[in-house]
Amino acid sequence: MSKFEYALHATDGAARVGTITTPRGEIETPAFMPVGTAATVKAMLPEHVRQTGADIVLGNTYHLMLRPSAERVAALGGLHKFMNWSRPILTDSGGFQVMSLSKLRKLTEVGVSFQSHIDGSKHMLTPERSIEIQCLLGADIQMQLDECPAMPIEHGDARESMLLSARWAERSKAAFEEKANPGQALFGIVQGANYEDLRHESLRRLMEIDFDGFSVGGLAVGEGRAEMFRVLDFTTPHMPIGKPRYLMGVGKPADIVGAVARGIDMFDCVLPTRAGRHGQAWTKIGPINITNARFAEDPEPLDPESACPASRDYSKAYLHHLVRAGEYLGPMLLTWHNLQYYQDLMSGLRAAIGAGALGDFIAEFKANTGEELV
């Protein structure tokens, strides 16, 4: 079985439940993908990532190309074997992080040249090289190289940037067809900032090239939740029904709930892992900071009813102690708990959509967290 397929099972309003089938296993959608930047979901054992319910993890092309390098990962049998994760992996193109992390970057029609933030070494990332790297890593789902401009941006500049991304999409597709193995998938990335006409034009151009899935890029860059949802409102209704839709880099639980309601199928975000390393735990009533003095003698676990050991078997007082004392186990347990929270959120959303009860789910989520979902 070497096909990549998306099957839509049920809808509730714009929200969708489906399954992505890959040669390395199925991905139930809506799906949250834990971020494994440098070939590890930080502070997690891979078997525990899986135990939370994650069907797929994300790897960062930018980090991996610099250390240990795509060629070395390939020589060692590919990213799955390297990080001891046998299920699907999605890699980004590297473009976003080149622009945010590297030094002396220069963007031209050909691609982006830059210096490594680790050792200053010089590199060039083109659409073709990005695909080559993602194939060397062995990513099951690969992303085209794109440009992700900051907002606010003038319409003219936004269109120019979107057209560059569209040309890179075409080059990415050509490189992918040459290099990829059967069953691997390539996603195009819809750009166009917060302009409806540009998002539509971007999507139309990508659909002409034809991709296995479509990402919405250029959001979650500081525009705010209401603006992000406004862009989704005029974008997702035009996206193909039979292909997965991925909102990149999103987000907080409330962002995810609102985006699922608007028809998004896939998410990734460093929030649950990063928050876990900084003493923050996500709970049914929202995030708490475990270092707060009020938890110092709290004998209750984060979630006594959870099947996750990290949520169930350790008191808040103990977690408070661990984080205050700078012990490894604090980030380890809080990260695990947060990833479980996120996966439980996704399975709750899937069940609610399947039962035609997303409205109730959202009402309860709002009541518990006090979050606005617009």
Q: Give 67 or 278: the residue with its C-beta nearer to a copy of itself.
A: 67
* Near a copy of itself in 244-283, by CB under 8 A: 277
In the complex, the smallest distance separating the C-beta of residue 46 from a copy of itself, rounded to whole angstroms, is: 9
Q: How far apart are CA 202 and CA 231, in angstroms?
A: 13
* Tokens matching residue 329: 């186990």
In the complex, the smallest distance separating the C-beta of residue 118 from a copy of itself, rounded to whole angstroms, is: 9
As annotated, the active-site residues are 92, 268
In the complex, the smallest distance separating the C-beta of residue 51 from a copy of itself, rounded to whole angstroms, is: 12
Cβ atoms of 333 and 275 closer than 8 Å: no
Short-list 297, 296, 279, CA closest to 288: 279
Q: Which of 4, 6, 32, 82 binds a copy of itself (CB under 8 A)?
A: 82
Q: What are phi and psi of 214, to 5 degrees?
A: -130, 130
Does residue 325 belong to the site contacting a copy of itself (CB under 8 A)?
Answer: yes
Instruction: Calculate the CA 303 to chain-centre distance.
Output: 25
Does residue 232 belong to the site contacting a copy of itself (CB under 8 A)?
Answer: no
Does residue 78 belong to the site contacting a copy of itself (CB under 8 A)?
Answer: no
**Full strand arrangement of the beta sheet holding 213-216:** 31-34, 266-269, 245-247, 213-216, 185-190, 141-143, 89-91, 57-59
Q: Which of 168, 295, 318, 361 binds a copy of itself (CB under 8 A)?
A: 318
Q: How far apart are CA 172 and CA 188, in angstroms?
A: 9
Q: Give 187 or 314: the residue with its C-beta nearer to a copy of itself.
A: 314
Q: Give 246 or 314: the residue with its C-beta nearer to a copy of itself.
A: 314
Q: Which of 72, 155, 204, 278 binds a copy of itself (CB under 8 A)?
A: 72
* Tokens matching residue 179: 């290099």
Question: Which regions of 60-152 does DSSP assign to beta strands (E)?
Answer: 89-91, 103-107, 112-115, 122-125, 141-143
* Near a copy of itself in 3-62, by CB under 8 A: 38-40, 42-45, 47
* Near a copy of itself in 103-162, by CB under 8 A: none
* Tokens matching residue 261: 């309601």
Residue numbers at the binding site for a copy of itself (CB under 8 A): 38-40, 42-45, 47, 67-68, 72, 75-77, 82-84, 277, 296-297, 299, 309, 313-315, 317-318, 321-322, 324-325, 327-329, 331-332
